Structure 1
Amino acid sequence: MAFRGRLSNRRIALFATIAVVLLALGWMRYTNAAALSGMPFKEMDWNEDGELTRGEVLQGFFTITAVRTQDGNRSCVDYRRRGSAESIRVECRTETAP
């Protein structure tokens, strides 16, 4: 079985697609995208009208960030629009020590 020196166009397209997906996931992790914070899609109703749209889910990937804070045994996730300090939603948990 001889090794071909040239990759087929299909394999090049596959590798390029995988590279783009990995770069996009890395960028979303770096920018604290809300969709990667562990929030279920059904809770991404950002305008709180009771209806989840495709646009609101996409906002969770590209527009909304999740800022995590820890204060003693209380941990909070503050959801904000990218580039803004104004909170959209804050979710906090208090964990008791065993």
Structure 2
Amino acid sequence: MLARGKFTTRRKALLGLVLVLLAVVAWLHFTGAAATRGLERKQMDWDNNGQVTMSEMLQSLYAVKVEITHEGARECRAYSWRGSTETLRVDCRTTMQPAAPKP
């Protein structure tokens, strides 16, 4: 039988920190933050100067949102500043769906 230790203050604080971080990531995903949408580092060049800085990577967390639209087999992602209608970039991709099985 395993001996269970007390749930110490340190463990409670760590659990609270983990839950807060999980809530922040869930909120970022719910609000459409660009960082939670599978961007690579090289795609975070918001000012198009050819170099991705730390501030641009942080902007993908709090300042840039993504709207994903589907039109048939075409999926488009429109990147824009939060609170603005100015579009930074639109990336579209055509995906092939697997063939339906024949009866």
> Normalization by structure 2: what TM-score?
0.83
Give aligned pairs, total.
96
Structure 1: how far apart are the matches of 2:63 and 2:52?
A: 16
Letter of the structure 1 residue corresponding to residue 12 of structure 2 = I
Listed as ranges, the matches of 1:29-68 within 5 Å are 29-68=29-68
> Normalization by structure 1: what TM-score?
0.87
Runs of 4+ in structure 1 over 6 Å off: none
Question: C-alpha offsets along residues 58-95 of structure 1, whole Å, 9 cap, x if unaligned?
Answer: 11111101100111221100001111121101000123
Structure 2: how far apart are the matches of 1:2 and 1:43?
A: 48
Q: Secondary structure at 1:20's aligned position in 2?
A: helix
Deviation at 1:12, TM superposition (A): 1.8
Gaps of 5+ in 1: none
Structure 1: how far apart are the matches of 2:4 and 2:25?
A: 36
Identity %: 36
